Amino acid sequence: MDMHVIPEMVVPDDGSGVVGRLDAALLRTARERAATHGRRAIDELEELAGLEPREFVRRLAVTLHFPVLGSEQLFASTPDFAKVPLAEAIKHEFVLVKRPPEAGGGLVGVLSDPFDGARLAWIDERLAGAELYLAHPADLSAYLARHEEDFHAIDSLAEAHEEAEIVEDVETLSLTRISEDSSVVVKLVNSTLYDALKAKASDIHLSVTGSGMVIKYRVDGVLNTASRVQGAEVAEQMISRVKVMAELDIAEKRVPQDGRFKVSIKGRQIDFRVSIIPSIFGEDAVLRVLDKQDLADQVHGVRLDSLGFEADVMKTLRRLAGEPYGMVLVTGPTGSGKTTTLYAMLTEINRGVDKIITIEDPVEYQLPGVLQIPVNEKKGLTFSRGLRSILRHDPDKIMVGEIRDPDTAQIAVQSALTGHLVFTTIHANNVFDVIGRFTQMEVDPYSFVSALNGVLAQRLIRLACPHCAVELRPRDDELLASGIDPAQTHGWRFVHSPGCGRCRGSGYRGRTAIAEVLLLDDELRQTIIDRKPIAELKELAKKRGLRLLRESALDLVRTGQTTLEEINRVTFVA
């Protein structure tokens, strides 16, 4: 592929004075503004240029030596979704189209953002040698949206091979299909699912009230009210619709029910796990969103340095993952990224020379070269029973999705003591509370600390929206209440995010991980065995270099990456 563009936008001013080129200084300014505002460089450039779309694309193409595909030519072309499926085309804002026979035939690639280095690398790897054309971002977006309904005709690679038999049972979501629904209730449910997926929600809460329903999405770990539905009858019918989709008993309203269903949107299938619980006004529903493709994009080839951890934390985790045997514990609340961290650690050590087996509930993503076992309690396959079977399967590394009971805890510890490297999670507030959790499960303290190599406690912190965040210093009393000495905040870049359309009014976009890691040594092990107070253990760990979650969170506030309110929500004030 002839890559005409240097992603860093270093376009030399050759002094040729060619009419129609964008000024090199303008390009540099756009790049600087993009880095500051968190926007795409091409959007900043178009805003700075002040040109109408057609003229902007023409001048950008001249500057970067690209041929242009105008909107009329683009919409008259035929896409080829066999080599680049629609879902990938939408994700990468790139499409392959067929050149008309009179123009010589063949395929050409159309992209809208020539400054995205990662996207250009993806195109180069996927379609080396393809001729590239430039189109306006709005034109390409509209073109892809127009073909959204045709994705079934161009199934991608092996994606549908496994699911071809059940595709008829999968609800298809799109704005067109939703608008065509004749049932008001079906339209309400489907539009809720569609909007939640667009908002990248992890959970959908349907809370029935005396007069209707409140719909909330959990986005970046926080619940936000999305909409309200008036009418108790409509609310009841919406819950019944969800139960039908999840194949639950719509007549049973006195006991909790659990189920699941799938929907398809833009060529990708999304799983929803459904929990129905009786309430004083009827029934409430919570739908957990499990986008396996999105998780695959995050996990496939992911390494620890892509998760946002500090350099020292990554170094420690790599050391723990490289140990020949012992136990590595990851702790934190639900939704704090524990599974993703374990996947990243397994990916880094999976070189094909070790037998790696996992037991999970559920298996959220398939790791290449790893034997993964899903828990099925209805059939008697629990964590403890599955772990016993794993030990007879000659493993080197084992991942246990979660330690929930004393039996699983005992087997995991024994596995670590008998030459296996065990990765697992447990629910606790910090690295020190983990010790108490195992004590409650009646695990022998000496065996536990002998097996334990290290404990990681982590949280996900929302990042301030770059589009609406402004510098604003909190009042001194707010700083003191947060455990911060105002006199020690010189040079801190405090920010406040009021909310905007880009962040759906939340004031935050995206999350990053913070962590505290406790490495066990002989002195720390003896302190635990002697049942010394936690305060003494914590002081000793700090001398060994332990940085608490709160300290990592304060670093994000100091550099203006998040707000004081956010870290107070997630971490305890020291």
Q: What residue spans define the domains of the chain?
A: 52-152, 172-290, 299-461+511-550
d(CA 457, CA 453): 14
Is the pLDDT score of 13 beyond 50? no
262 forms bridges with which residues in the sheet?
271
- pLDDT computed for residue 167 by the predictor: 41
Comparing 4-13, 175-184, 343-352, the range with the smallest average pLDDT is 4-13
Q: How much of the chain exceeds pLDDT 70, in percent?
A: 87
The mean pLDDT of 425-450, rounded to a whole number, is: 90
d(CA 203, CA 197): 10
Is the pLDDT score of 360 beyond 50? yes
Instruction: Answer left, alpha or beta for residue 566, where phi above 0 means left and psi between -120 and 50 means alpha.
Output: alpha
Is the pLDDT score of 14 beyond 80? no
Is the pLDDT score of 16 beyond 70? no
- Residue with the bigger pLDDT between 371 and 265: it is 371
Is the pLDDT score of 403 beyond 50? yes
3-state DSSP: the chain helix, strand, coil percent, rounded to 5?
40, 20, 35
The total number of residues shown for the chain amounts to: 574
Phi first, then psi, for residue 214 (nearest 5°) are -110, 125
E-strand ranges in 362-451 read 371-374, 397-400, 421-426
Return the closest-CA partner of residue 412 out of 379, 376, 371, 453.
453
Instruction: Let me know: does 118 contact 93? Beta carbons within 8 Å.
Output: no
Q: What is the DSSP string of 41-104?
A: HHHHHHHHHT--HHHHHHHHHHHHT--B--HHHHHHSEE-TTTS-HHHHHHHTEEEEEPPGGGT
Is the pLDDT score of 175 beyond 70? no
Is the pLDDT score of 418 beyond 70? yes
Query: Tokens for 440?
Result: 């409650």
The mean pLDDT of 368-395, rounded to a whole number, is: 88
Phi first, then psi, for residue 323 (nearest 5°) are -70, 150
pLDDT category, 303, cuts 50, 70, 90?
Answer: confident
- pLDDT computed for residue 176 by the predictor: 61
pLDDT in tens, 57-94: 888 888 888 888 887 788 778 888 777 877 778 878 89
| Domain 299-461+511-550 CATH superfamily | P-loop containing nucleotide triphosphate hydrolases (3.40.50.300)
3-state secondary structure of 267: coil
- pLDDT computed for residue 517 by the predictor: 95
Q: Is CATH 3.30.450.90 the classification given to domain 172-290?
A: yes
pLDDT category, 180, cuts 50, 70, 90?
Answer: low
Is the pLDDT score of 3 beyond 60? no
Question: Residue 533 contacts by C-beta under 8 Å, 6 or more apart in sequence?
Answer: none
d(CA 98, CA 292): 31
- pLDDT computed for residue 549 by the predictor: 93
277 C-beta neighbours (distance < 10 Å), count: 12
Is the pLDDT score of 151 beyond 80? no
- pLDDT computed for residue 421 by the predictor: 96
Instruction: Let me know: does 549 contact 457? Beta carbons within 8 Å.
Output: yes
Query: Tokens for 387?
Result: 């772990």
Q: Do the domains spanning 172-290 and 299-461+511-550 agree at the CATH topology level?
A: no
Is the pLDDT score of 296 beyond 80? no
